[in-house]
Structures are given as structure tokens and as C-alpha cells.
Amino acid sequence: MKLAVFSAKAYDKKYLSAEHEAKKKTLAEHSPSDFEVVYHDFSLSPETVSLVKDIDAVCVFVNDVLSADVLEDLHKTGVKAVLLRCAGFNNVDLKAAEKLGIFVANVPSYSPEAVAEFAGNFNLDGLLGKTVHGKTVGIIGTGRIGVSMARIMKGFGCTLYAFDPYESDAFKELGEYLPLEELLPKCDFISLHCPLMEKTKHIINEKTLKMMKPGSMLVNTSRGGLIDTKAVTHALKSKHLGGLALDVYEGEGDLFYNDHSGHIIDDDVLTRLMTFPNVLICGHQGFFTEEALQEISECTFRNLEDFLRGRKCDNSLVKEEFLLSRRDSLPVRII
């Protein structure tokens, strides 16, 4: 069996190779042939899928593209499993994967504290020239990372509100749930921790920005598509939005995780954002801790082992009647 890892950086290879070595014997017992892992530094996309040959499974990251067409091409070459080494799955056409009988699994939780601490650090950076203590914080999305963020901000003496259709008992011990239109005007800081899907795409837009408290700060460490970047730029220009901190960007695919020091960045929206003194932009680094990379590697190979053994995988994102016991529904909250 052969696993192809795409968008592989040196640190991916280090941690995945170590886990592969640790699991080599177990994997070999359930593989019809010698188990091999190959690493590609380029992303999986419609342009590169033709390079996939003699591969049984692919391992991908946030900016790899697994559209219906890409999945169809993978299926034709014999790929049977897609292993996401991230929580979000907005880059995978799950319906197409299910129809083709391709197993898909993610890593639903890898050190949620790492991303929450990163988001908290944005707040502490002093963009607004205000102390955090006593401020009101709004958290949109109260999965593992959102709740971790809430705990951190509670420790600074903040008042907490949250918006999430699926309320968390853990958050209720820390703060209060409000409808989005009631939360936005109350908060000094808004931190986004929800998955990107049709209902959450551009949840921060011209309309919701106008609802926000004048001078408030927006933090996004989740997915770039949650924000209408052009609308945010206008809000910054008008000074209605007091500060912006991004670890993700809607058009980050060809920008982040690459060295552009010798290139001209032709993304005018991003270039404009970088001119504001009250804007911080990082390159999707919130997860980047030793603990998170270790958990990503371990969980990725656990998912693969479940697939090879033909047993129920708790992290499966597709209904598994074609291989495993059928699940009644897909996960509703993943970060």
C-alpha cells in the first residue's frame, strides 16, 4: 500500500515519518503489500492530480483541493482513502467522496489550546491600546477551540458572550449565549472559531460589521472565508473597525506556507490590508506547536489504521455503509 502526502513541509515529514515508523508493523499486518509513504511539497489540485499514480490513499492539508472532479480522478487511479491532517473539511466534496466510496477522515482536535492561545495573543498585542481585563469578548463558534479561547479570556477577567447554533455546556459555565445580532454590538473583541460552510461563509460582512461596536477588534484564526475581506477593508478605512488580526485569509492558498520574499504579491486586497497599522496578519500558524504536530500525526495514522482494519472510525466524515457500520449523521461541530 502507498500513501501520498501532499503540501508536505519539513515538519510534516518529520512527525509523520516518526509515526509511520512507530506504526509500521501494525500497518503492514493489515496492508496487502509493503506500506510506503511518499511526500510531495506541492498541493493536490486539478492541476496536479494527474501526477497521482499507483497510490492507495492521500493525506492532505487545508489548501489542497478535493473537488468532485479531483476525487473522480483519484478514484479512477485507485485511491480509496483521503486523510485530512486538519479539522476543517470545507476543501473536500464529501457528497462526491461518499458517492465514489472514498473514505474521508479528519483530525477533529489537535491541541485546541494552541489555536486559542494564538488568538489570545492577538488580543494581547496592543492593537487597540487597551487592556484586556474587564473587556467584553464575543466568541463565534464554541467547539473545542472556542471553549479553550473562552477559558483563556475568562482568566483575564473578561465578560463572555457566544453565538453557536449548537450550544456547549462547557461554555455555559463561562458565559452567555446570544443571537449574533445581539452579541456584536456588545463586544470589544470578536473572535471567530466556527467551521467554514455555506451558512458561515462571510458571516462577517458589510451588514454584520455595521452591527459591531465602534472601535472593536476582530480576530480570525479559523478559516479565511468567514470574512468578507473587502467589507472589512472598508470598515477599517472608516475607522468603525478598530483592529483586525488574521491567521487565515480567504485567498491564502497560493500565498501562505511559501517563501515570497523574492516575488511581487499581486493580491491587491491583501496588500491593502497590510498597509493598515492596526492590522496583524500571520500565515496560518495558530496550530504550529510540537504538541499539535504530534497529535496530527498520531490521529492521521489512527484514522488510516481504522480504515485498513475495516472498523468504525470516530473521525470519519462520510457515511460508511460501503465499508463500515453506517453512521446516522455527520459531525456538526469540528473546531
The reply to whether 112-281 shares the fold of 2-109+290-309 is yes
Site of grid cell 515519518: 17
List phi, psi (to 5°) of 8. Answer: -85, 120
Residue 302's Cβ-side half-sphere holds a number of Cα atoms within 13 Å equal to 15
Mean pLDDT of the chain: 85
What is the tens place of the pLDDT at every residue in 1-40? 899 999 998 989 999 999 999 888 777 777 766 789 999 9
pLDDT tens digits, 181-228: 999 999 999 999 998 889 999 999 999 999 999 999 999 988 889 999
Q: Name the β-bridge partners of 246.
A: 220, 281
What is the rounded average pLDDT of the residues 95-108? 94
Determine the pLDDT at residue 114. Answer: 59
How far apart CA 89 and CA 106 sit, in angstroms, is 7
Please state which of the ranges 90-104, 147-161, 180-194, 285-299 shows the lowest mean pLDDT: 285-299
* Span 146-181, pLDDT tens digits: 999 999 999 989 999 999 999 999 999 999 999 999
Q: Decide: 325 and 312 in contact? Cβ < 8 Å.
A: yes
pLDDT of residue 258: 47
Catalytic residue flag (residue 252): yes
Question: With 70 as the cut, is the pLDDT of residue 237 above it?
Answer: yes
With residue 161 as reference, give the H or E element that holds it.
Answer: strand 159-163
Where exactly are the structural domains of the chain? 2-109+290-309, 112-281
CATH 3.40.50.720 matches 112-281: yes
Q: Is the pLDDT of residue 260 over 50?
A: no
Query: Residues near 276 by Cβ (< 8 Å), separated by ≥ 6?
Result: 236, 244
What is residue 265's predicted lDDT score, i.e. its pLDDT?
56
Are the C-beta atoms of residues 245 and 217 closer than 8 Å to each other? Answer: yes
Of 49 and 116, more confident: 49
Instruction: Of 86-95, 102-111, 135-144, give the lowest mean pLDDT range.
Output: 102-111
**Residue 335 confidence class, pLDDT cut points 50, 70, 90:** very low
Q: Select the more confidently predicted residue: 114 or 323.
A: 114
More confident residue, 266 or 16: 16
Question: Which among 19, 98, 250, 252 is annotated as catalytic?
Answer: 252
Single out the catalytic residue among 85, 223, 298, 320: 223
DSSP 180-226: HHHHGGG-SEEEE-PPPSTTTTTSBSHHHHHHSPTTEEEEE-S-GGG
**pLDDT band, residue 62 (cuts 50/70/90):** confident
What integer pLDDT is reported at residue 209 of this predicted model? 98
Q: Please state which of the ranges 116-120, 167-171, 233-237, 299-303 shows the lowest mean pLDDT.
A: 116-120
Residue 47's pLDDT band (cuts 50, 70, 90): very high
* Least confidently predicted of 7-11, 138-142, 212-216, 258-262: 258-262
302 is catalytic: no
Give CA 52 to chain center in angstroms: 25
Identify residue 120 by its one-letter amino acid code.
G
Residue 323 has pLDDT above 60, yes or no: no
- CATH number 3.40.50.720 given to 2-109+290-309: yes
pLDDT at 131: 74
Measured CA to CA, the distance from residue 210 to residue 240 in angstroms comes to 8
- Measured CA to CA, the distance from residue 141 to residue 309 in angstroms comes to 34
